[in-house]
Structure 1
Amino acid sequence: MLLQTTCIFLLSVLLSSFSPLGTAMLNLTLPGAHPDPEAVAHEVHRKVNASIARREMLSVSEKDGSSCLTGNPIDDCWKCDPDWPNNRQRLADCVIGFGQYAKGGKGGEFYVVTDSSDDDPVNPKPGTLRYAVIQNEPLWIVFPSNMMIKLSQELIFNSYKTIDGRGADVHIVGGGCITLQFISNVIIHNIHIHHCHPSGNTNVRSSPEHYGFRTESDGDGISIFGSKDIWIDHCTLSRCKDGLIDAVMGSTGITISNNMLSHHNEVMLLGHSDDYLPDSGMQVTIAFNHFGEKLVQRMPRCRRGYIHVVNNDFTEWEMYAIGGSGEPTINSQGNRYMAPENPFAKEVTKRVDTQQSKWKGWNWRSEGDILLNGAFFVASGEELEVKYEKAYSVQPKSADRISFLTMSAGVLGNARDNNLGMWSRGPADDTTESGMEYTDDMSTTATMLLSSFLLLFFLSYTILRLTVIL
């Protein structure tokens, strides 16, 4: 009987190993969850208040070297170094919130992406982004020039990687986009991610030693699956088939900061299902982001866990901003919520498919938020003052301060929208949920440049001839 039971158990483990869902179901230890989430939220506020105080105390001028100060503690941490291009890995010391232990590729070698192609997901070429992210050792990945990387399949990361797009205009689009599955320590910084669509039913490599068959992906911009210590900062995300950023299956230790999100329906999902117990240890900080135009819902939509939404600018939603089910803790502090004109969509919050008798005990708190154009936040929970005592902000942030904190959200030095240069809006169809499609207009652009050059040459030649005649 014992032998039979043992064989059945081993068989179930073996079968589950072929399924990501089965593997996640075995992961019940919740590694990486912070034992005191309110203390982490309090530390975020301490750093924000310290940065704002420095900015207000010092005159903003080139003379005293304080022109870099914005009040945003993440940006002030690295941008105040005038030689930051030669000290890129300092960025890993600047993360705040639950993703504070995400070191990415710090201490590893620099890898320069010289090839924007993605032709072979099983045997990627050296110099490509895919070749870099699957390596076992820590890598700090940089880009020497602007490039558009059109993925053929999901870009599956290995642990200890940083994608650092500072200094270049880097777009990641196409099949599946970014997948972080059962890994840790990843930083994704200053990248455009958009027009991601489902891919799969083929083999994809995840490390130098392993590749495997992947079923069809959802088409997320960034999919975080059973992973921890993740930081997504200063990215611009839009127009993907499913979520822009989804974190499920026991993922935790995540900070999502300084991003620009726009043109999308279901923006961000945190938690696999109401009944998936490992997501009770999910801890996510959402800070200094700009939730921009043409967003519909899920900013985020939470299941279980502790979600700290702090100092974000919500300028548009069609259904609701923050929603949830499965008894998540939502700590909303110092955000600006601008309600839509629709009189039936003024509420910031939504309890999804849950009766009031059940959600009235959930800990949802609004503190220091700015509610505009009729916006209102329905709080809930018992003994809120005790539950949130350590996270209490010194002073509610003014609207001007929120503008300063989020003024650089998205990819630095570029337009906030992902409708740039080679990208154009297509006719409304089902290419993506937002009714947008992408087209490669490089040939059109080249033709226009050639025509302009010929016209300029003709005008110069005519002027020169007239000058000689006169």
Structure 2
Amino acid sequence: MAKVYNLFLLLCFVAVIPTLHANILANTTYAKQHITTIDNEYWKEKAAIARKMSEEAYFPDPHELSRNFTSLITEDIAGNNHVRRNLNGQRAGVACEATNNIDRCWRCDPNWADNRQKLVNCVQGFGRKTTGGKGGPIYVVTSPADNDMVNPKPGTLRHAVTRDGPLWIIFARSMNIRLNQELMVSSNKTIDGRGVDIYITKGAGITLQYVSNVIIHGIKIHDIVPGTGGLIRDSESHFGFRTRSDGDGISIFGASNIWIDHVSMRKCSDGLIDAIMGSTAITISNSHFTDHNDVMLFGANDQHTIDKVMQITLVFNHFGKRLIQRMPRCRFGFVHVVNNDYTHWEMYAIGGSSKPTIISEGNRFVAPDNNNAKEVTKRVTNDDWKNWQWRSINDAFVNGAFFVQSGPELVDRPFSSKDMIAGKDGSYVQRLTSFAGSLKCRVVKSNLVIYFFNLFIKIYLYNFFSSR
């Protein structure tokens, strides 16, 4: 009798399984649809706010800003060659050197670790109003873990970047961080890797979507792959369903006032840095790029006229070994490419479509040996490109490199003699970019005890108040 009863229960259970499975699927589908509906409204609201901030960040006269920035560089070259101090730089055993005006603003100060937020005063170019986490507390990342996308553990990078309000994020020690899904960074954040070695590697990348006022400094990003998608937190008050990410190292989507400085990047599944959908007020400086095909994309679609507000400064960067193209590739917008070192490309360096304005100033272009790839520039279309304003000013060309100019000269706002002083041409680029990439900054030994004591107090206080 017992056997018959057990058999009866088994048959009932088997009969119920399809119903349970169907209910689970139905509930899951409903949940996703419900979340998607809520998310659509959430992201529409964020997009509207971000667009307003992009319009406010837009400079009506970008030539004036780039002209003033050029003046700062030339003054720095002309009058500031005594730059050795007492903080170790990138070269082992060599006294600290600051070889351009951005680095001179903060490097070689033995007390830099006690006043990290001084970095905010150093940004130049279109991203010059970026303040990141200035005025906010120091958040110390103590763990490289990234296991919970919805409720990240305190002390992790994902927990830090999804907090409300300004935060200056630093790291307790060197770390390899593998992001299981794209890292959604909220507004008013600084990710500051100085003093340790921080690798974002072998996982998903960093996303800045509809946010403003973000600084990323002093980290290494490589071997980035697409995230599979799912529920991901992007702020303290919101998480939502995200589709598969592209595999960009840093994705800037409808964001403004962004500064990326002293970052080393290579080998990402899509772009190293992409800026699209009306992103503007961006400076990318002092960074080192290698081992990649599509390096930078500024504007993703010829139909996205919102990118006309895009204004980006590329300055003091080194485009290095085993790069192929897109340094950058632009649509619409205004891009000031100034004092960068292009030592390697296989197809072209600077390209675009949809009538972007590109001012190439004081760069060094070293062409590959391939006679078919000597041209720096590439227009994707043959339509009216001769009217696009692509100008080369004081660039240095090596190994047969050449820049095909187009459009009007800058006669509407001619540079003054102060802006055009001798010595700001591409011949100075090797020095200006000699410390591009993530720096090996270390705290001066005499300050280590004080530094670690202060770090301990900051960790203790943050954990104490976070747990209340």
TM range (shorter): 0.7 to 0.9
- List alignment gaps of at least 5 residues for structure 2: 1-36, 87-94, 442-468
1:358 aligns with: 384
CA offsets per residue over residues 276-314 of structure 1, 9 Å max, x none?
Answer: 111001000000000000000000000000000000000
Q: How many angstroms apart in 2 are the aligned matches of 1:394 and 1:282?
A: 29
1-structure distance, mates of 2:350, 2:333: 14
Q: How many residues align?
A: 394
Q: Is the 8 A contact 2:137 2:168 kept in 1?
A: yes
Q: Choose the corresponding residue for 2:394, options 362, 368, 389.
A: 368
Matched, 1:120 2:148: yes
2:376 maps to amino acid: V
Which letter maps to 2:390?
W
Which one of the candidate residues 431, 434, 444 is aligned to 1:404? 431
Relative to structure 1, the CA distance from residue 360 to residue 400 in structure 2 (aligned partners, 3 Å threshold; closer, same or farther) is closer
Map 1:214-225 onto structure 2 (within 5 A): 214-225=242-253
- Secondary structure at the residue paired with 1:186? strand
CA deviation after TM superposition for structure 1 residue 389, in Å: 4.2
Secondary structure of the residue aligned to 1:386 is coil
Partner of 1:244: 272
Q: Are 1:162 and 2:190 an aligned pair?
A: yes
- The residue aligned with 1:261 is 289
- Tell me the distance in 1 between the aligned counterparts of 2:289 and 2:83: 32
> CA–CA distance in 1 between the matches of 2:186 and 2:98?
34
Whole-angstrom CA distance in 1 between matches of 2:174 and 2:241: 32
Q: What pairs up with 1:223-234 in 2 under 5 angstroms?
A: 223-234=251-262
For residues 197-208 of structure 1, what are the structure 2 equivalents within 5 Å? 197-208=225-236
Q: Is the 8 A contact 1:336 1:370 kept in 2?
A: yes
Q: Pairwise mapping of residues 52-201 of structure 1 onto structure 2 (< 5 A)? A: 52-56=77-81, 58=82, 70-201=98-229
Letter of the 1:108 counterpart: G
**Higher relative contact order (Cα pairs below 8 Å, separated by 6+ residues):** 2
One-letter code aligned to 2:195: G
User: 1:68 and 1:45, CA in 2 relative to 1: closer, same or farther beyond 3 A?
Assistant: farther
Distance of aligned partners of 1:119 and 1:73 in 2 relative to their CA distance in 1, 3 Å threshold:
same
2:447 corresponds in structure 1 to none
After superposition, the C-alpha distances for 1:198-236 in whole angstroms (9 at most, x for unaligned) are 113311000111100000111000000000000000000
Measured on the aligned residues, the alpha-carbon RMSD in Å equals: 2.3
The TM-score with structure 1 as length reference comes to 0.79
CA deviations 1:61-109 (Å, max 9, x no partner) are 88xxxx7563401100001422111111000110000000110001100
Q: Residue deviations 1:410-455, cap 9 Å, x none?
A: 01129xxxxxxxxxxxxxxxxxxxxxxxxxxxxxxxxxxxxxxxxx
Match of 1:41 among 60, 66, 69: 66
- Taking the aligned partners of 2:179 and 2:347, their CA distance within structure 1 comes to 32
**5+ unaligned residues in a row in structure 1: which ranges?**
1-13, 415-470
Letter of the 1:146 counterpart: S
d(CA) in 1 for partners of 2:132, 2:375: 38
1:24-39 to 2 correspondence within 5 Å? 29=52, 30-31=54-55, 32-39=57-64
Q: Matched residues in 1 for 2:138 and 2:101: separation?
A: 25
Question: Percent same amino acid among aligned pairs?
Answer: 52
Whole-Å separation in 2 of the counterparts to 1:295 and 1:134 = 33
TM-score w.r.t. the length of structure 2 is: 0.80
In structure 1, distance between residues paired with 2:369 and 2:97: 35
